[in-house]
Amino acid sequence: MNKFITVQQAAEKIHDGMTVMVGGFLGVGNPIALLDALVEKGVKDLTIICNDTAYPEVGVGKLITNHQVKNLIATHIGTNKNTVDQMNAGELHVELSPQGTLAERIRAAGAGLGGVLTQTGLGTVVEEGKQKVVVDGVEYLLEKPVHADVAIIGANICDEEGNLVYKGTSQNFCPLMATAADTVIVEPQEIVATGSIAPENVKTPGIFVDYIIR
């Protein structure tokens, strides 16, 4: 199966109102060209699931700046003033989830689990509206899975089957997100022949990847 598409074809697969996971951390690991194409396309009313909204003119931050995001699930927003301003103005609904909790919620979606139990957030605003479960006399929050219509991720190396290698911190959230969406689009920095990546170096198996941006 030929998985290769152009960045414009990738952008056409994302429509108004979709839920989109965006891999990376402060722009590192973001699919930069695809995010730029989505800004140019003007797709709107998105629900974005990501670690953070980077900076106003970096990666996913551009979608925020351009008022294309309606709902946001993230771990922090302090590096993007536009995210904070839109939240305070009631223009953007923001759900802040502790970083480890968000990672586990994504993993739960990818693994088909009904949620994860954690004590993180007990006694804080994080617990508002959430179910509590007692196990062996210990109280936990039930954090439910988060799933997306599309996951868009960056990778350093990709072979022709979609097997992915990430270097350093660029793997932030990307391997988890590749398991937790109906459609997965990767924007790699380098494409190599199938078989040239040592199996033990593959972080995301190609079976999870639907499309590769050439």
For residue 12, the domain's CATH number is 3.40.1080.10
Q: Is residue 35 part of a domain?
A: yes
Q: Is residue 45 part of a domain?
A: yes
Q: Is residue 157 part of a domain?
A: yes
Q: Is residue 52 part of a domain?
A: yes
* C-alpha to C-alpha distance for 103 and 173, rounded to whole angstroms: 7
Q: Is residue 66 part of a domain?
A: yes
Cα angle 147-100-88, degrees, rounded to a multiple of 5: 75
Pairwise pLDDT comparison (171 vs 79), residue with the higher score:
79
Give residue 56's domain range: 4-98+146-213
Q: Is residue 117 part of a domain?
A: no
Give residue-wise pLDDT tens across range 2-33.
999 999 999 999 999 999 999 999 888 899 99
* C-alpha to C-alpha distance for 48 and 80, rounded to whole angstroms: 15
Give residue-wise pLDDT tens across range 190-205.
999 999 999 999 999 9
* C-alpha to C-alpha distance for 87 and 93, rounded to whole angstroms: 6
* Under 8 Å between Cβ of 126 and 160: no
Q: Is residue 173 part of a domain?
A: yes
Q: What is the pTM of this model?
A: 0.93
Q: Using 50, 70 and 90 to split pLDDT, how confident is the model at 123?
A: very high
Q: Is residue 185 part of a domain?
A: yes
* C-alpha to C-alpha distance for 8 and 12, rounded to whole angstroms: 6
Residue (of 191, 174, 187, 184) closest to 213 by Cα position: 187
Count of structural domains, the chain: 1
